[in-house]
């Protein structure tokens, strides 16, 4: 059959249209204007979740596929260790991946410029944003480019497989020459597969797409295209992370649980650099949940006052700036410090890295995480133990993601009870404590743990007089 080729679309002739069968879905579509986009202002949006006449949507029939890229947290941790970094994205990534011809009838669309013209039928030939499998298919093809080149370009292959988050590249190197070579080879290899890298930015003028410090050098770190109430940005020229806030408005002045949940979900803090701020909103939401209010019911006056005060202070986060690079380039030794703490409302942990040189040292907050305490009543020592487990998990993830050799590691907790639990074998304690002690002891040594108030003496005599008390929890 002959048909007209329209790039990523093919127009069907009458014979092809008449050969329709039950394996055909028509994708609703419309245009959306993105004023903030520096490249594609007008984008076509397809709705694969729209129900057809038989009450079945295309996305109901498609598999989503597994996650095959590293999470954004891991990529950002590595991004912070390089002296020279580059960012870029793949132009129209989904449109560069062809769909097998036998499956293109699942992606039919109809179109006419006005009502006086006959309806034309088209098939989309490429992976289409809005379908459930689109993300996996495009990412899997990108990953294959890395696999295909791992024998000839092992380092570039690893970058392709590990340093892309969907279509965004965040990578770097310890020397300018190596970073320049990475950029050249990435462009060369990915171009062969139809993936064009654009919007290059770097903390060094020689690696930027437009070597002019007068141009906009702000890179928005994002996990999707949704607009964030609080978003993380990297400023290439000054090489710092900062946060930007958007104006929060409420329709008709009514404040509901739905609005609060929607706002909290838009607080984007992948590295946890604003955990003390973000956790306040989550604690308020948990307390609000206990009031048994409907989604659209107005909040009690005391909650409204607390929330509005929080929103009023939120723009102050824009004043907080964090250096991207956490390592001193000439370091001789690296030490890692982890802290954990818990309360009846919430608990959190944070990790600092100290890079030591012959002339001094540099200490930077690497990351932190926090969560609200469970509603079910749990003793404070147990909460402290749970937080120690989460600190251990965070430590393991940081080491695995950063791929750094750490010369010494120290952990602190302000709970002597937790230290007492950790000094003994897991089978000494009851199940709740035993399972968590075993998890901590699997990844850390007791000699690495200290009381936050007695760094030089991790337990000392407290074991003697408090040991019997430890059995009570």
Q: Which fold does the domain 328-470 belong to in CATH?
A: Nucleotidyltransferase; domain 5 (3.30.420)
- The per-residue pLDDT for 227 is 63
Indicate the SS3 state at residue 318.
Answer: helix
CA–CA gap between residue 421 and residue 428 (Å, rounded): 9
**15: which 2 tokens?**
């014979």
Indicate the SS3 state at residue 87.
Answer: strand
Residue 101 backbone phi and psi in degrees, to 5: -55, -35
**255: which 2 tokens?**
């404040």
CA–CA gap between residue 340 and residue 351 (Å, rounded): 9
| Of the candidates 345, 336, 348, 339, the residue with the CA atom closest to the CA atom of residue 275 | 348
Element (H, E) at 341: strand 333-342
* DSSP classification of residue 399: H
Virtual torsion, Cα 76, 79, 81, 84, nearest 10 deg: -160
**411: which 2 tokens?**
């952990």
- The per-residue pLDDT for 419 is 95
Indicate the SS3 state at residue 420.
Answer: helix
- The DSSP line for 231-287 is EEEEETTTTEEEEEE-----GGG--BHHHHHHHHTTB--TT-TTHHHHHHHHHHHHH
- The per-residue pLDDT for 155 is 97
Tell me if 343 sits within 8 A of 350, measured CB to CB.
no
For the chain, give the number of residues: 473
| Of the candidates 106, 140, 136, 138, the residue with the CA atom closest to the CA atom of residue 123 | 106
- The per-residue pLDDT for 93 is 95
Tell me if 324 sits within 8 A of 234, measured CB to CB.
yes
CA–CA gap between residue 36 and residue 331 (Å, rounded): 40
Say if strands 333-342 and 408-413 run parallel, antiparallel, or are unpaired: parallel
**23: which 2 tokens?**
């394996």
- The per-residue pLDDT for 45 is 83
Domain ranges of the chain: 4-216, 243-319, 328-470
Mind listing the pLDDT tens digit of every residue in the chain (473 residues)?
233 344 678 887 766 766 655 556 678 887 777 666 667 777 788 899 988 878 889 999 999 999 999 999 999 999 999 999 999 999 999 999 999 998 898 888 888 888 899 888 899 999 998 999 999 999 999 999 999 999 999 999 999 999 999 999 999 999 999 999 999 999 999 999 999 999 999 999 999 876 554 456 889 998 865 567 888 999 999 999 999 988 776 655 678 889 899 889 889 999 999 999 999 999 999 998 888 888 888 888 889 999 999 999 999 999 999 999 999 989 999 999 999 999 999 999 999 999 999 888 999 999 999 999 998 888 999 999 999 999 999 999 999 999 999 999 999 998 999 999 999 999 999 999 999 999 999 999 999 999 875 444 444 333 333 333 434 44
- The per-residue pLDDT for 473 is 40
Say if strands 84-90 and 197-202 run parallel, antiparallel, or are unpaired: antiparallel
Neighbours of 120 (CB within 10 A): 14
Tell me if 350 sits within 8 A of 275, measured CB to CB.
yes
CA–CA gap between residue 254 and residue 100 (Å, rounded): 50
């Amino acid at each position: 059959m002959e048909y007209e080729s329209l790039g990523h679309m093919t127009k069907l002739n009458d014979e092809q249209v008449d050969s329709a069968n039950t394996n055909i879905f028509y994708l609703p579509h419309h245009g959306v204007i993105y004023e903030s986009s520096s490249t594609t202002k007008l984008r076509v949006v397809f709705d694969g979740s729209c129900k057809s006449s038989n009450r079945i949507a295309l996305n109901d029939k498609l598999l989503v596929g597994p996650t095959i890229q590293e999470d954004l947290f891991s990529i950002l941790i590595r991004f912070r260790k390089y002296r020279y970094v580059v960012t870029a994205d793949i132009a129209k990534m989904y449109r560069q991946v062809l769909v097998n011809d036998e499956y293109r009838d699942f992606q039919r669309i109809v179109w006419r410029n006005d009502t006086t013209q006959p309806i034309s039928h088209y098939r989309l030939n490429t992976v289409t944003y809005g379908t459930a499998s689109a993300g996996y298919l495009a990412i899997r093809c990108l990953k294959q480019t890395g696999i295909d080149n791992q024998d000839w370009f092992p380092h570039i292959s690893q970058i392709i497989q590990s340093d892309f988050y969907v279509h965004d590249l965040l990578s770097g190197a310890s020397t300018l020459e190596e970073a320049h070579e990475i950029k050249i080879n990435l462009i060369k290899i990915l171009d062969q597969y139809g993936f064009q890298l654009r919007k290059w930015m770097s903390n060094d003028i020689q690696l930027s797409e437009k070597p002019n410090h007068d141009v906009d050098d702000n890179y928005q770190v994002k996990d999707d295209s949704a607009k964030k109430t609080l978003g993380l940005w990297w400023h290439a020229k000054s090489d710092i992370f900062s946060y930007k806030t958007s104006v929060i408005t409420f329709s008709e002045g009514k404040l509901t649980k739905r609005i609060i949940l929607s706002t909290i979900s838009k607080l984007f803090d992948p590295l946890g650099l604003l955990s003390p701020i973000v956790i306040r909103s989550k604690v308020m939401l948990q307390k609000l949940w206990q009031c048994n209010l409907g989604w659209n019911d107005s909040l009690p006056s005391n909650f409204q006052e607390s929330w509005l005060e929080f929103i009023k202070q939120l723009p102050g986060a824009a004043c907080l700036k964090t250096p991207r690079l956490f390592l001193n380039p000439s370091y001789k030794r690296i030490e890692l410090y982890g802290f954990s703490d818990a309360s009846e409302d919430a608990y959190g942990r944070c990790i600092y890295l100290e890079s030591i040189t012959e002339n001094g040292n540099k200490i930077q907050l690497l990351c932190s995480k926090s969560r609200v305490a469970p509603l079910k009543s749990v003793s404070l020592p147990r909460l402290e133990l749970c937080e120690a487990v989460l600190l251990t998990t965070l430590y393991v993830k940081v080491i695995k993601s950063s791929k750094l050799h750490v010369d010494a590691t120290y952990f602190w907790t302000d709970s002597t009870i937790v230290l007492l639990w950790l000094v003994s074998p897991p089978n000494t304690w009851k199940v709740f404590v035993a399972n968590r002690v075993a998890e901590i002891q699997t990844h850390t040594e007791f000699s690495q743990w200290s009381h936050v108030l007695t760094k030089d003496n991790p337990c000392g005599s407290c074991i003697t007089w408090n040991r019997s008390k430890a059995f009570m929890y």
